[in-house]
Amino acid sequence: MSVFTVKDVSQTTTLIDVDDSGNLTINGGFTLDGAIAFGAGNTAILDVSGLATGEADIVIGDNLADALTIRQGDSPYLTVVTTDGAEAINVFKALTTTDGVASGPTRRIGGRVNENTAAGSDLTNSTAETALATYQIPANTFKAGTRLKVRAMVAVTANVSTTTLTCRLRLGGVSGTALVTTATVDTSAGNVVVVDFEIVSRAAPSASSALCGSGWYNDPGAVGSALKMAALAATNFATNGALDLVITGQWSAADGNTCACQVLSVDVVG
């Protein structure tokens, strides 16, 4: 039953109607400068089920760094960015799906966070262990159950002597923990090192949170070289701060032998 009604000037069309249950019906557009608040114990539903295909839209502003935000208090859950050339939907919490299976496992959605689009700088005429490529893992990335997967490839681009090469995958920079260390090998031009490693976090971000992992790699050699296994026993890292994931190279003599990182792909899930 209507308790308040506003009609058009002809008194034939209802523009606004409020019934005795507090439901508000608006027939037409309206402009709002303020907030719509619903009290506890009520049901708040935006019902557009009566509209036809293509009639329900949420229209946001153009070229804005924050065109729309869904938040709880001051904590954002999702922000729509319409900045020209940098449009994005930024999600600040975990995304999960059961892929339409009601009783299926809840899967966290993740994806690629780093991909080198060009070869790294050449390492030549040096005996120092040197970062060939780096991905800085942002602070608080590792939560309980987070999995980080890295794929790296280093290629020997020039060989002029019997100088040997050692490659390492490290977490925590060039002086950090070695996840993979290849054998020291006399290389030939065209030789490669391929590393495939996964790191799993056992705890929430902190100054001392356990990470463990495992993976495969090959010593410097021709494509198709034998694979070896590498493992990281549970080790504490300061995951509440940024951590540099690096692939390094080290020559045994300073000469014209040259290598460079060709691939550093990093995926994060959870």
pLDDT digit string, tens, across residues 140-188: 999 999 999 999 999 999 999 999 999 999 999 999 999 999 999 999 9
Contact residues for 174 (Cβ-Cβ < 8 A; gap 6+): 129, 130, 131, 246, 248
| DSSP single-letter state for residue 83 | -
| DSSP single-letter state for residue 118 | S
Q: What is the mean pLDDT of the chain?
A: 90
Q: Assign domain 113-269 one CATH number from 1.10.150, 1.20.120, 3.30.1640, 2.60.120.
A: 2.60.120
More confident residue, 101 or 251: 251
More confident residue, 166 or 23: 166
Instruction: Please tell me the predicted confidence (pLDDT) of residue 21.
Output: 76
Instruction: Please tell me the predicted confidence (pLDDT) of residue 170.
Output: 98
Q: How far apart are CA 161 and CA 57, in angstroms?
A: 67
The answer, yes or no, to whether residue 260 has pLDDT greater than 80, is: yes
The CA radius of gyration of the chain, in Å to the nearest whole number, is: 28
100 phi, psi to nearest 5 deg = 85, 0
Query: How long, in residues, is the chain?
Result: 270
Query: What are the residue ranges spanned by the domains of the chain?
Result: 113-269
pLDDT digit string, tens, across residues 62-103: 999 999 999 998 999 999 999 999 999 998 887 877 777 777
For residue 111, which of 88, 95, 87 has the smallest C-alpha distance?
Answer: 95
- CA 248 to chain CA centroid, nearest Å: 23
Span 105-127, average pLDDT: 88
| DSSP single-letter state for residue 206 | S
Geometric angle at alpha carbon 152, from 150 and 158, rounded to 5° = 170
Q: Which bin fits 67, alpha (ψ -120 to 50), beta or left (φ > 0)?
A: alpha
> Which of helix, strand or coil describes residue 62?
coil
